[in-house]
Amino acid sequence: MNTTRSEPAEGTPLACQCALPLSRQTLTYVAGLLRGRLKKIGSRWRKLPPGKIALIVPATLRHDRRLAGMAGGSSVPASTTGRRAWEVTGLLAARAPRPDRALATLKREGGEVVLPDGTLIPARRRTGTANRKNYNGKHKTHGLLFPALTGETGNLIWISSARRGAASEITTARRDHHAGRLRTAGPGALAGLGFTGPDPDPGDPVIITGCKSTRTSKTTPAQRQANQALPAARAPVGHGFSDPRNRRILTRLRLDPARAAIVLRALLVLTRQHTTR
């Protein structure tokens, strides 16, 4: 089979324009990170200035533009555009806080409660038996699970690395040692029924969840009233992933889990630059 590719008559690659809700503060911040990186490694020349490279990265994360299209508008090869985009994305992801530091910062700012939650980012189905570990039975789709901690005002403060889509919230909470870190840092946690069980000290729980009704143990009226009050207190958690999930790149991930975690953490840093609640 022969495949032909039609090129514009002028011989210039086609460029696609898009509108970006990008503030000057965010662009200056990203360009400053790149300038610091270039100064550190002693790079004296790049074909594109840091400001232009900093503009390519938000466009890629927001609209999921292909590298060939971004390269055509910048007059650089697609491979160079990819290297620069991942370089800046890695710099942004490195600025994402670790869980201990995020909890310490929250405590220093007067926060008393965190809201554990997670989101499933759809991903392409893997071939063979490897597809089962990324299949989520709750959402009936393949994807990667990203546990996170949200502040009581609705701002994301920490995102975990990518977990397999079939993992449960209890398993991820135990693996990330949520109970021990919260007990050390000080803030408590209001979690849903999916987080029931990871606290090793049920007598003095640091993770407060609702009460489950089983066949042999029914909930009391007081427990049912507490179950109704808990979702109201956890309402801000819906704002945590609202801005990152609006990015087209998260519509369906085509990345390996390690790079997917870098993208999510870079989006966390960008979101905290222009969104505060």
Q: CA of 5: how far to CAs of 2, 32, 41, 248, in Å?
A: 10, 39, 39, 27
Tokens of 59: 């466009």
- The per-residue pLDDT for 70 is 67
DSSP, collapsed to helix, strand or coil, labels residue 115 as strand
For residue 145, count other CB atoms closer than 10 A to its CB: 22
Read off the pLDDT of each residue in 39-43 and give the average, rounded to a whole number. 86
Q: What is the pLDDT of residues 203-243, one digit of tens each?
A: 777 888 888 888 888 888 888 888 888 888 888 888 888 87
Would you say 63 and 18 are in contact if contact means Cβ atoms under 8 Å apart? Answer: yes
Domain ranges of the chain: 24-94, 99-254
Please identify which residue in the block is written with the tokens 């965190």: 114
- The per-residue pLDDT for 277 is 60
Read off the pLDDT of each residue in 32-50 and give the average, rounded to a whole number. 83
Residues in Cβ contact with 124 at an 8 Å cutoff, skipping those fewer than 6 apart = 142, 252, 253, 254
Q: What is the pLDDT of residues 134-182, one digit of tens each?
A: 888 887 888 888 988 888 888 888 998 888 888 888 888 888 888 888 8
Tokens of 175: 């693996």
Would you say 176 and 102 are in contact if contact means Cβ atoms under 8 Å apart? Answer: no
Question: From CA 178, how far away is CA 268, in angstroms rounded?
Answer: 19
Q: What is the pLDDT of residues 69-101, one digit of tens each?
A: 666 666 777 777 778 888 888 999 999 988 888
Residue 45 has pLDDT above 60, yes or no: yes
- The per-residue pLDDT for 57 is 78
Residue 4 has pLDDT above 50, yes or no: no
- The per-residue pLDDT for 198 is 67
Percent of the chain residues topping a pLDDT of 90: 3
Percent of the chain residues topping a pLDDT of 70: 83
- The per-residue pLDDT for 73 is 64
